[in-house]
């Protein structure tokens, strides 16, 4: 019998079981299942199609700890890298405070033991782009970041995680942020992926009173992408703006589970999450907002807007408001629509062909979030990737 | 301006159309020559807005019979965008708001689509800004409106001015203005009517669809047509509009009842 390069169902099952066992061992916990509420809509089987092992340029992937990838990084004035005991002391502070340390994607990241990048910003740190380019080689590529802004400090930070060309990879990104009083951070994550790669992205933020956070995440093209922004306003009185945009095509799945918790009064949240779903793609949004009794006079607004481009695509969107305090404003809403036929006809009646009109409308839908990314993101031409003509 | 020898721009013959299988147009006949201004009047539900949508190619309306020739070419087989490119323009009764699409960008893409069809070179951002600023004067429009999203948050008058601005940029051969006067105060009406008058030339034609005489006080039509029950019931000169202003539309019911027995009969011409 001639060996053919065909994977039979019988052969695939053990490979998936191997992958599952390897991931569970690395994370020290079994993969989440859809019986768990937080993963109800999210099928993790695309993770099992990624070859096991840590992505490394060598021929034999192993679980060896990779060398420090940050040595060549040049930082703007006002931003310094902490290493050694200083760094170790700070790492995990936001994960612990938000209860995210036990989340499976975070455990997986810890299991991969990436060399951490710990940054401290003392004043105006200007603008910094972190190109998170995975090394060559199939398998898992992980990054661990912590960004600490001291009182009154500022920073604009753009993360651009990307898979290595031609490699099947699972990207794991865990970012911790600590904002002291009156610190201001604009954080963008531009995650343009490929159909044979997955992304698990955790963002965990502690905010002190008077601090301002703008976090914008744009994601498209991944077989599976899971984004979990979690913000804790430790004593309230801070400003949180969250922007999300995810696009799915084919059989892709993108899932955003956000959580914002106010532990004190007079906190503000302004959240907009958008999704564009084409093909047989699936988009999931779950937005938790927690307002305990201590968080009087909280002002929170959450909106989920979704564009459905195909009758096979699927959108699941759910606000999850837990409000105990009685003197608060918490608004939320969700819309799912198709391209509006009257808008299309108006554009066509001006000589713009149907395809160009549809693109113009989709572009407008996306720009609403793209404009919140740091300016440096423009260089990556996100709109072309999002509209599927990169 | 009526010139019997002027070329025919639009020839509508026995046009029938339906929306959701409900017949709306039941045999419309209308011939428009270069240099002419026509007004189609009628009550709500008479089919006059449907006529404008069908001519522009709205996909919700199905043509069930008849023909429309635009400069000798079968208009009905063209997509809406192709109709626009060859010079047909519809000014909307309710211009659509499109959040996130900049008005300036929209106007530029539309203008370039029309220019490409005419064999003219496309305008880059700078050349287009020069053109659009010049054309803004036609409707006395504030350049600030260029920076906003298409029609978003515009008042009724601003939306209609934006329609006429588009007309000024696209330089249509046949412009159909659907209830352009609705929702306008007298100052806005003067500005919009002034724009239409400036753009009228011996080489183009305008079809005004309106409910009231007041627009026709400012734009003098060469021909006035009264629509009812999906047909043109009566045609005449500008005095027909004045007569309607005096006597209202009540005679329409009597005439429809009289015609009811003979649906095939063509409407009588009124001298």
Q: Could you report the per-residue pLDDT of B137-167, keeping only the tens digit for each?
A: 999 999 999 999 999 999 999 999 999 999 9
pLDDT (0 to 100) of residue A389? 57
Q: Collect all residues of chain B within an 8 Å Cβ-Cβ radius of residue A370.
A: none
Burial of A297 (0-12, 13-18, 19+ CB in 10 A): middle
A390, pLDDT greater than 50: no
Q: What are phi and psi of B137, to 5 degrees?
A: -65, -30
pLDDT (0 to 100) of residue B235? 95
Question: Does the predicted interface ipTM exceed a cut of 0.90?
Answer: yes
Q: Could you report the per-residue pLDDT of A9-61, keeping only the tens digit for each?
A: 444 556 888 999 999 999 999 999 999 999 999 999 999 999 999 987 654 44
Is A351 touching B (CB cutoff 8 A)? yes
- Measure A173 CA to nearest chain B CA, in Å: 31
A231, pLDDT greater than 50: yes
- Residue in chain A closest to B105 (alpha carbons) equals A360
pLDDT (0 to 100) of residue A254? 98
Q: From CA A119, how far away is CA A157, in angstroms rounded?
A: 11
Mean per-residue pLDDT for A137-148? 96
Mean per-residue pLDDT for B187-212? 94
Instruction: Write down the mean pLDDT value for chain B.
Output: 92
Q: Could you report the per-residue pLDDT of B52-101, keeping only the tens digit for each?
A: 999 999 999 999 999 999 999 999 999 999 999 999 999 999 999 998 89
Radius of gyration over every alpha carbon of chain B, rounded to an integer in angstroms: 19
Q: Could you report the per-residue pLDDT of B28-57, keeping only the tens digit for each?
A: 999 999 999 999 999 888 999 999 999 999
| Cross-chain Cβ contact A364/B170 below 8 Å | no
Q: Collect all residues of chain A within an 8 Å Cβ-Cβ radius of residue B81.
A: 348-354, 357
A4, pLDDT greater than 80: no
Mean per-residue pLDDT for A232-259? 97
Q: From CA B159, how far away is CA B96, in angstroms rounded?
A: 9
Tokens standing for residue A237: 């009185």
Distance of CA A383 to the CA centre of its chain: 18
Instruction: Write down the mean pLDDT value for chain A.
Output: 92
B58, B81, B96 member nearest A351 (Cβ): B81
Mean per-residue pLDDT for B107-117? 95
B263, pLDDT greater than 60: no
User: What percent of chain A has pLDDT above 90?
Assistant: 86
Q: What are phi and psi of B101, to 5 degrees?
A: -100, 120
| Residue whose tokens read 């997955």 | A198
- What is the CATH architecture assignment of B8-94+172-260? 3-Layer(aba) Sandwich (3.40)
Mean per-residue pLDDT for B94-109? 93
- Residue in chain B closest to A360 (alpha carbons) equals B101
| Cross-chain Cβ contact B110/A345 below 8 Å | no
Mean per-residue pLDDT for A106-134? 95
Q: Which residues contact B79 (CB under 8 A, 6 or more apart)?
A: A348, A353, A354, B57
- Give me the residue spans of the domains in chain B: 8-94+172-260
Higher pLDDT residue, A389 or B149? B149
Among A116-120, B174-178, B213-217, whose mean pLDDT is lowest? B213-217
Higher pLDDT residue, A55 or B237? B237
Mean per-residue pLDDT for B179-188? 89
Mean per-residue pLDDT for A77-87? 93
Considering only the C-alpha atoms of chain B, give the largest distance between any 2 of them, rounded to a whole number of Å: 62
| Cross-chain Cβ contact B166/A351 below 8 Å | no
Q: From CA A203, how far away is CA A201, in angstroms rounded?
A: 7
pLDDT band at B2 (very low <50, low <70, confident <90, very high): confident
A8, pLDDT greater than 70: no
Q: Collect all residues of chain A within an 8 Å Cβ-Cβ radius of residue B100.
A: 363-365, 367-368
- Give me the residue spans of the domains in chain A: 25-51+76-386
Q: Collect all residues of chain A within an 8 Å Cβ-Cβ radius of residue B113.
A: 350-353
pLDDT band at B183 (very low <50, low <70, confident <90, very high): confident
pLDDT band at B270 (very low <50, low <70, confident <90, very high): very low
Chain B interface with A: residues with Cβ < 8 Å: 56-60, 79-81, 83-85, 90, 92, 95-96, 98-101, 106, 109-110, 113-114, 117, 149, 166, 170
For chains A and B, CB pairs below 8 A equal 72
A340, pLDDT greater than 90: no
């Amino acid at each position: 019998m001639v060996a053919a390069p065909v994977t039979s169902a019988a052969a695939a099952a053990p490979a998936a079981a191997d992958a599952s066992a390897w991931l569970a061992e690395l994370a020290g916990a079994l993969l989440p299942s859809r019986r768990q509420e937080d993963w109800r809509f999210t099928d993790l089987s695309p993770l099992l199609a990624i070859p096991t092992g840590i992505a490394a340029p060598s021929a034999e992937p192993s679980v060896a700890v990779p060398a420090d990838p940050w040595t060549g990084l040049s930082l703007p004035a006002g931003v310094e890298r902490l290493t050694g005991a200083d760094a170790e002391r700070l790492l995990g502070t936001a994960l612990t405070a938000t209860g995210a340390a036990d989340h499976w994607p975070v455990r997986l990241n810890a299991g991969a033991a990436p060399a951490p990048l710990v940054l401290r910003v003392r004043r105006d740190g200007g603008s910094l782009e972190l190109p998170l380019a995975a090394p060559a080689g199939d398998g898992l590529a992980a990054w661990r970041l912590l960004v600490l802004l001291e009182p009154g400090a500022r920073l604009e930070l753009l993360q651009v995680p990307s898979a290595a060309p031609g490699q099947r990879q699972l990207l794991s990104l865990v970012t911790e942020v600590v904002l002291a009083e009156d610190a201001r951070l604009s954080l963008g994550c531009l995650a343009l992926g490929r159909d044979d790669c997955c992304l698990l992205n955790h963002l965990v933020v502690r905010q002190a009173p008077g601090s301002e956070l703008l976090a914008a995440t744009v994601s498209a093209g991944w077989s599976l992408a899971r984004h979990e922004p979690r913000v804790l306003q430790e004593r309230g009185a801070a400003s949180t703006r969250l922007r999300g945009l995810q696009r799915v095509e084919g059989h892709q799945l993108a899932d955003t589970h956000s959580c914002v918790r106010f532990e004190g009064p007079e906190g503000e949240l302004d959240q907009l999450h958008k999704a564009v779903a084409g093909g047989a793609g699936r988009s999931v949004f779950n937005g938790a907002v927690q307002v305990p009794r201590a968080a009087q006079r909280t002002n929170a607004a959450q909106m989920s807007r979704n564009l459905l481009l195909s009758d096979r695509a699927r959108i699941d969107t759910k606000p999850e408001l837990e409000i105990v305090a009685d003197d608060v404003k918490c608004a939320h809403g969700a819309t799912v629509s198709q391209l509006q036929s009257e808008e299309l006809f108006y554009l066509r009646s001006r000589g713009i062909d149907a395809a160009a009109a549809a693109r113009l409308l989709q572009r407008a839908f996306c720009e609403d979030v793209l404009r919140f990314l740091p300016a440096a993101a423009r260089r990556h031409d996100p709109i072309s990737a999002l509209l599927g003509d990169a | 301006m009526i010139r019997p020898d002027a070329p025919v721009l639009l020839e509508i013959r026995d046009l029938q159309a339906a929306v959701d299988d409900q017949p709306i147009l039941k045999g419309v006949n209308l011939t428009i020559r270069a240099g002419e201004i026509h007004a189609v009047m009628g009550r709500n539900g008479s089919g006059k807005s449907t006529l404008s949508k069908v001519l522009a190619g709205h996909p919700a309306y199905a043509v069930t019979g008849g023909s429309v020739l635009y400069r000798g070419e079968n208009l009905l087989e063209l997509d809406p965008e192709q109709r626009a490119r060859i010079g047909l323009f519809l000014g909307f009764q309710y211009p659509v708001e499109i959040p996130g699409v900049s008005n300036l960008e929209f106007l530029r893409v539309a203008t370039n689509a029309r220019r490409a069809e005419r064999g003219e070179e496309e305008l880059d951002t700078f050349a287009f800004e020069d053109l659009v600023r010049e054309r803004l004067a036609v409707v006395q429009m504030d350049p600030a409106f260029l920076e906003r999203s298409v029609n978003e948050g515009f008042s009724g008058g601003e939306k209609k001015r934006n329609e006429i601005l588009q007309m000024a940029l696209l330089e249509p051969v046949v412009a159909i203005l659907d209830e352009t006067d609705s929702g306008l105060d007298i100052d806005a009406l003067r500005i919009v009517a002034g724009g239409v008058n400036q753009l009228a030339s011996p080489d183009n034609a305008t079809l005004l669809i309106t409910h009231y005489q007041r627009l026709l006080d400012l734009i003098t039509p060469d021909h006035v047509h009264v629509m009812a029950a999906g047909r043109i019931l009566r045609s005449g000169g500008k005095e027909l509009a004045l007569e309607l202003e005096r006597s209202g539309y009540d005679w329409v019911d009597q005439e429809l009842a009289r015609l009811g027995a003979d649906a095939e009969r063509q409407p009588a011409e009124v001298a």
